Amino acid sequence: MAYDFDLFVIGAGSGGISSARRAAQYGAKVGIAESWTLGGTCVNRGCVPKKLMMYASQFPEQYHAATGYGWDAVDSQFNWGQLISAVGNELQRLNGIYRNMLDKSSVQVFPHYASFVDAHTLEVGGEKITADKILIAVGGTPAMPPIPGIEYAITSDDIFHLPQQPKHAVILGGGYIGCEFACILNGLGTQVTQVIRGDKILRGFDEDIRNEIQTQMIANGIHVMTQTAIESIAKKDDGVNVGVVSHDERQHIIADVVSLAALGRKPNIEKLGLENTQVELAAGAIAVDKYNTTTEPHIFAVGDVTDKVNLTPVAISEGRAFADSQFGGNSRTMSYDNIPTAVFTSPEAATVGLTEAEAIEQYGEAGIKIYRSKFRPMFYTMPDMPIKTLMKLIVHSESDRVLGAHMVGDDAAEIIQGVAIAIKTGATKADFDATVGIHPSAAEEFVTMR
Ligand code: NDP
């Protein structure tokens, strides 16, 4: 049977666009549907605007440091409206670039939501479109647990459109998004209370890293309420009233505008019409095999909708592996080992490979060696600022292979990206030691740790 398209992609985010372009490069006739702006969460509501705001939030510290280098003290006022509009303009520019990229690749863009009518047919903006293969790349959406009044909380999607800077924000959650926004808002001058249900932020990260970031976030003025359960959120004329139980004691936190829920994300599958296909779910996400094939052999899924490793570069890699396999005659899968990741907090943190706890679980305490270095980077010495960098390597005793590298401090993401190549290719501690350092730099500590 002749179909309208060889491949139809639902969702033009990182995973969808990379798959569509690569399949089109192989000569496939490709269509893509996106009801929102091109680029998906990462470009429009996530990584990109978040990082731009993080840059903005770092200037006060830089101004302070400048006085240690002979500059007069800077008296500068921050304008929230100006930042939000500059970020919006940049996103518009990026949307244009995405549009051009898709046009150049001859991918036909449909600015509509697509849902399944049957396993080969989609309804796209009132039109029926058929495709030989269909890729679901619709991403995720903020999870809103059933807390009374949760509808009064905004999410990270909304923060980029707030007309005014909140004076006091209550941030619910201690994961990537909660921590990043706590630091951004705090840096921009908002009073921040961060509510977490455990003892520490960033569950799943190496304990030394969690401790160091939390300590420095608190030192920077963020009020982190640990072991605190959120009971309710009530709307007030001038803000919100967040009811919590903190260390068994009931309290109310009054914030002027914002309580920001950063309590995880869930796959965006409600309106896809999956009931008209044989596509099955596992724990609320689309179940796929290692080739990203769903339980319908011609329907595939990549990225956050599969809820595996919810990171932009992972969605892109999955999408390219899918397109190479299905349209490029090169059947391959993506490798999930040693995926580096960063948290753009202040201080920044980045990590690759096993945490100390994971390494102990695999090799036992006697099976690993830990190398740590904590120091004040040169930049902060003259301004006499108490900002520290922490670096940590986890090494397999028997083989000498480096199992994990972790860092908290300036440029952690930039530094760990390079270290990740070494770890991915199986470098040993002896290889690290044999590498000549770049002096003077913080990064050289990774090759000089004893
Ligand atoms: P995370 O899963 O990272 O963190 C969720 C947080 O919410 C945790 O602190 C969790 O606590 C807490 N939580 C969950 N449910 C409840 C509840 N019912 N009551 C109280 N607390 C709760 O989610 P995020 O929303 O921060 O981020 C979503 C994903 O987006 C990340 O996992 C990541 O994959 C991606 N992302 C990546 C970024 C990057 O690469 N820099 C940046 C931003 C997002 P507990 O730890 O106790 O479970």
Kindly give the number of the ligand 1 atom that is closest to the alpha carbon of 204.
46
Q: How far is residue 5's CA from residue 28's CA, in Å, rounded to a whole number?
A: 8
What sign for the dihedral angle of Cα 304, 306, 311, 315?
negative
- Other Cβ atoms less than 10 A from the Cβ of 175: the count is 18
Residue 303 backbone class (left: φ over 0; alpha: ψ -120 to 50; beta: rest): left
Q: What is the pLDDT of residue 257?
A: 63
- Other Cβ atoms less than 10 A from the Cβ of 14: the count is 29
Would the CB of 175 count as within 6 Å of ligand 1? yes
Report the residue among 14, 41, 244, 265 best suited for mutation to probe ligand 1: largest number of ligand atoms under 8 A from its CB: 265
Instruction: For residue 236, report the phi and psi dihedrals to the nearest 5 degrees.
Output: -120, 165
Q: How far is residue 32's CA from residue 134's CA, in Å, rounded to a whole number?
A: 10
Q: What is the pLDDT of residue 430?
A: 98
Kindly give the number of the ligand 1 atom that is closest to the alpha carbon of 304.
34
Domains identified in the chain and CATH numbers:
5-142+266-327 (3.50.50.60), 150-263 (3.50.50.60), 347-447 (3.30.390.30)
Would the CB of 265 count as within 6 Å of ligand 1? yes
The yes-or-no answer on residue 439 being catalytic is yes
Would the CB of 264 count as within 6 Å of ligand 1? yes
Q: Whose CA is nearest to atom 2 of ligand 1?
A: 264
Token digits for 95?
Answer: 């949307």
Q: How far is residue 69's CA from residue 145's CA, in Å, rounded to a whole number?
A: 48
Instruction: Give the SS3 label for residue 179.
Output: helix
Q: What is the pLDDT of residue 443?
A: 98
Instruction: For the chain, list residues with pLDDT below 70.
Output: 257-258
CB within 8 Å of 202: residues ≥ 6 apart: 174, 175, 176, 179, 209, 210, 213, 214, 343, 349
Would the CB of 177 count as within 6 Å of ligand 1? yes
- For β-strands 140-142 and 281-282, DSSP reports them as unpaired
Kindly give the number of the ligand 1 atom that is closest to the alpha carbon of 310.
34
pTM above 0.95, yes or no: yes
Quick check: 304 and 137 in contact, CB under 8 A?
no
- For β-strands 168-172 and 258-261, DSSP reports them as parallel
Q: How far is residue 236's CA from residue 256's CA, in Å, rounded to a whole number?
A: 9
CB within 8 Å of 270: residues ≥ 6 apart: none
Token digits for 212?
Answer: 């160091």
Kindly give the number of the ligand 1 atom that is closest to the alpha carbon of 262.
25
Q: How far is residue 205's CA from residue 396's CA, in Å, rounded to a whole number?
A: 19
Report the residue among 203, 263, 268 best suited for mutation to probe ligand 1: largest number of ligand atoms under 8 A from its CB: 263
Token digits for 210?
Answer: 């969690």
Task: Using alpha carbons, select from 232, 229, 228, 225 the residue that is nearest to residue 150.
Answer: 232
Q: What is the pLDDT of residue 343?
A: 98
Distance 176 CA to ligand 1 centre (A): 6
Q: Whose CA is nearest to atom 16 of ligand 1?
A: 263
Instruction: For residue 194, report the phi and psi dihedrals to the nearest 5 degrees.
Output: -110, 125
Beta strand residue intervals within 101-238, DSSP E: 108-110, 114-118, 121-124, 127-136, 140-142, 168-172, 191-195, 223-225, 228-236
Instruction: Give the SS3 label for residue 247.
Output: coil
Kindly give the number of the ligand 1 atom that is closest to the alpha carbon of 174.
9
The secondary structure element, H or E, covering residue 96 is: helix 80-104
Q: Whose CA is nearest to atom 7 of ligand 1?
A: 263
Distance 191 CA to ligand 1 centre (A): 21
Distance 263 CA to ligand 1 centre (A): 5
Distance 203 CA to ligand 1 centre (A): 9
Task: Using alpha carbons, select from 362, 343, 363 the residue that is nearest to residue 352.
Answer: 343
The burial of 436, by beta-carbon neighbours within 10 Å (0-12 exposed, 13-18 middle, 19 or more buried), is given as exposed
Q: How far is residue 10's CA from residue 270's CA, in Å, rounded to a whole number?
A: 13
Token digits for 332?
Answer: 């391959």
Would the CB of 174 count as within 6 Å of ligand 1? yes
- Find residue 258's DSSP bridge partners: 169
Instruction: Give the SS3 label for residue 36.
Output: coil
pLDDT digits (tens, 9 = 90+) for 203-253: 999 999 999 999 999 999 999 999 999 999 999 887 899 999 999 899 999
Would the CB of 178 count as within 6 Å of ligand 1? yes
Report the residue among 45, 172, 176 best suited for mutation to probe ligand 1: largest number of ligand atoms under 8 A from its CB: 176
Instruction: For residue 82, report the phi and psi dihedrals to the nearest 5 degrees.
Output: -65, -40
Token digits for 258?
Answer: 């914002």
Instruction: Give the SS3 label for residue 402.
Output: strand
